[in-house]
Amino acid sequence: MPHYSGFAPKPARIAKIIARSGLCSRREAEQRIAEGRVAVNGEILDTPARNVESGDRITVDGRPLPPPVPVKLWRYHKPKGQVTTHRDPEGRPTVFDSLGPELPRVISVGRLDITTEGLLLLTTNGGLARHLELPSTGWLRRYRVRANGKVNEKDFEKLQSGITIEAIRYGPIEARIDRVQGSNCWLTMGLREGKNREIKRVLEHLGLSVNRLIRVSYGPFLLGGLKAGQCEEIKPRIVVQQLGPKVAAELGLSRTASLAGTKGRRPRS
């Protein structure tokens, strides 16, 4: 049976290693552990509080854990009408159904709901997805919003300090009125947390009804001219530059970038 052999030279938490293999996200790995579907050296785990080392035998649903895949990141322009899930019980079109066969198994960095369009980041690495999703990473997610109703600039100014709605606290939100067209207005909004339906709930609280929502950037990564349904890989060296060398090394990205940089080069004589 194959042994675990990852990028990390030191012991690491089991859920982190499963995510690094590209099998699923870290959160999903923790769920599988709780369901008794993960074993290390034949021992079924009931907690993710377990470190594994190179040489440990890891199985998920009785099958050996696949070896770590190269850490990659893509930009995808999600169209309206797709759900961000691998399997939809209602049979609706999913983001992952629309991807070409040339892509390996990927997971999304966060989600966009079925009516939201725009930039969705996809990766082969659950650890990278988790890092990019964390509010502590501090990356701004920027949206273009079309909403119906009367706008009030003073209300938007108050959002910069955050707002509490029905006992839910939303962090600081940037909001700018771009133009007003009859009963509709176009806004640009930026936030760093991304709670479920955050923009729609905040604007509803201000008396506005969102009828179009487009994510145009996620941190330094831009939607740009990417067409709806189009997917484009972000070069590993660019991802490393944006994450910084320490985080990139922890996620195995430095190794991926190094391998990519050597492709096509002739060996020195």
What CA–CA distance (Å, rounded) separates 55 from 35? 24
Residue given tokens 């854990």 in the structure block: 65
Strands 174-181 and 73-78, by their bridges, are unpaired
SS (H, E, C) 11-39: CEEHHHHHHHCCCCCHHHHHHHHHCCCEE
Is 113 noted as a catalytic residue in this protein? Answer: yes
Q: 178, 194, 94: which is closest to 141 by C-alpha? A: 194
CA 48 to chain CA mean position, Å? 21
What CA–CA distance (Å, rounded) separates 66 from 245? 26
Of 56, 88, 113, 155, the active-site residue reads 113
**Which residues are designated catalytic?**
113
